[in-house]
Amino acid sequence: MPGGNGALEVEQQPGSMEGGKARQVSWRDTGCQDAKLRTTVLINLASILEKCDEQILPAVYNWVGASFNATPTQLGTITLGRAMMQALSSPLGGIAGHFMSRGTVIAIGCWLWAAMTAVFACTTSLYIAMPVCAINGVGLALVIPNVQSLTADYHHSSSRGQAFGTLWLTISVGGMLGALYATNTAAHDPLGIEGWRFVFFSVAVVSALTGLLNFLFVHDPTFQQAQHQRAAQQAGPNPEKGGATLRRLAGEMGQVMRIPTFGIIIIQGIVGSVPYASLIFLTLYFQLMGMTNFDASLLVALYLAGGGLGGLLGGWIGDKTAARFPDHGRIVATQFSVIVGVPFALLLFKGLPMDGTTGTVWLYRATITAFALLTAWPAPCCNNPAFAEIVPAAQRNLVYAFDRCFEGAMAACSAPLVGLLAENWFGFKGTSRVTGVRKDDLHNAKALGNALLAFTIAPWVFCFLMYTGLHITYPRDRRRAAERQRDSDTREWEFGADGETLASAAEEAMPLRLRERDTSPPRQRSSPTRMAAAYAQLDAQGLLQQQNREAAERQKWRSGSDPSLGR
């Protein structure tokens, strides 16, 4: 257990012994806390830019539609190409994190999307913009799985909800800043450049700089250990060849796919991502309603900010409910967040007046803030922490990557489907721009609002029902993953360990320890997780106490049998 000097005694490891004694690692001396802080800040910054890059195109649909003479369906198709490529490329980001530092993978993603964002700003044709935006999605795909797995590695299970909530908040800040900046800058011509093109250029520059910072300063806590393990394996009698590595990864992917909890979360996520992807039309909806560019962008910013704070709140609630009800707390809280979106959607798209007056704008501000605050819980409250608990640490990259793949693919289809439904079913007419003719704009706003309502209510009801299955599968899968992790050779490097976190880890291990024989000594493990480390430490302490008692009894017996020992 940690001593008073902040050092943590670790179990015997290859290369960690000096003079036959377990080496003590001081987090303060080794700079691990600094690495954690630096890495956390930089990966959150990359997440901000990733969401900002996603958000700027929907925020300037009005101007891009006018520049390309594009309809809502065509604009949705551009977004479809980017989102679909991002979804299908997400496994690439997860696999790349196995072979190189995750900070490097994040940097490559930043540089790729920065380049494509700059190229998009130079395009004059809709048919060139589509493939450019699609390639942009590959860069975005490299970032989030690695950011999420790093977040899981750096935080213990008792605080992962808050960690993912904070990540959700920073991502939402990126979307909020992107929406505000893009919508208000696009209305002007800075330096003689069309406003929306200037927005894309500037975001590209900042993204490239963010990639450089991640490349130089992000610390991957498992990469060096994995390198040593691979080097030792290659130097051994049975080195792993390239084909064997790919087969091993394929086997790990298959293991992830067969986990029931993963399947349920993915299925609900595929459907549940549709409402959030559909709401990229909010800016255009508010503009058609008669609101100014500033009011429309501020409402979208409030939605994103409320979603960020809601994610933080949801993560905190998830941690608290999980501490009280480990098997069901997160799930119940998430079901509340999902179903509460239904009445809010009805109020937002049917219940409030449709004009740009001051009183109406304030009604929308209050409604959309509460709507975002209460519906943003699922990912940080349940999905992301659950993913970290149902697979061993070495497979986290894959589970987050496939989550993005499956959910993103369906979400990618939402934007063009909303446009098609608005045009072909509800009567949206013309291009995606404000004409200034009140009657026509209001008609298009109603058509778009009806389409958005259809793409929010039905998916949320379905998700509420799907989450019910987790009450059965999640407790079992979580315990199975804990057993596999305890017996694996992968070390989960998590920093900032103290007495409280080790005690929590010991509590996690307790149901497993009760199944072991009380008299069996602890097995030496080359690479324990925090839970396994606490398990081994507690058993080692018990064994030491037993040995001390036996030694005392022998000494007492000798003292009684040999009077000379008593002098």
Whole-prediction pTM value?
0.62
Cβ atoms of residues 140 and 84 within 8 Å: no
Whole-number Cα distances in Å, 19 to 12, 22, 30: 12, 9, 20
Question: Could you give the CA distance from residue 447 to residue 345 in angstroms, rounded to a whole number?
Answer: 15
What distance, in Å, lies between the first and last C-alpha atoms of the chain? 38
Residue 549's pLDDT is what? 63
**pLDDT value, residue 89:** 84
Q: What are the residue ranges spanned by the domains of the chain?
A: 33-223+257-478, 497-566
Q: What is the DSSP string of 451-519?
A: HHHHHHHHHHHHHHHHHTTHHHHHHHHHHHHHHHHHHSS---------HHHHHHHHHHHHHHHTTS-TT
Give the pLDDT score at 347.
Answer: 94
**37's tokens:** 């802080």
Q: Which residues of the chain have pLDDT under 70?
A: 1-31, 224-246, 248-249, 252, 394, 409-410, 412, 432, 485, 487-567
Residues 344-349: contacts with CB under 8 Å, at least 24 apart? 344/370, 344/371, 344/374, 344/375, 345/275, 345/371, 345/452, 345/453, 345/456, 345/457, 345/460, 346/453, 346/457, 349/449, 349/450, 349/452, 349/453
Residue 492 pLDDT: 43
What is the Cα–Cα distance from 42 to 400, expressed in whole angstroms?
A: 19
Distance of CA 67 to the CA centre of its chain: 35
Q: What pLDDT, on a 0 to 100 scale, did the predictor assign at position 154?
A: 84
Q: Of 376, 327, 318, which Cα lies nearest the Cα of 160?
A: 318
Q: Which H helix or E strand runs over 26?
A: strand 24-26
Is the CATH code 2.60.40.3880 the one for domain 33-223+257-478?
Answer: no
* Cα distance between residue 431 and residue 185, in whole Å: 21
Residue written as token pair 């013309």: 430
The SS3 call for residue 540 is helix
pLDDT of residue 519: 42
What pLDDT score was predicted for residue 566? Answer: 42
Q: Which two tokens stand for residue 315?
A: 């993560």
- pLDDT given at position 528: 42
133 residue type, one letter: C
Beta bridge partners of 527: none
pLDDT at residue number 402? 76
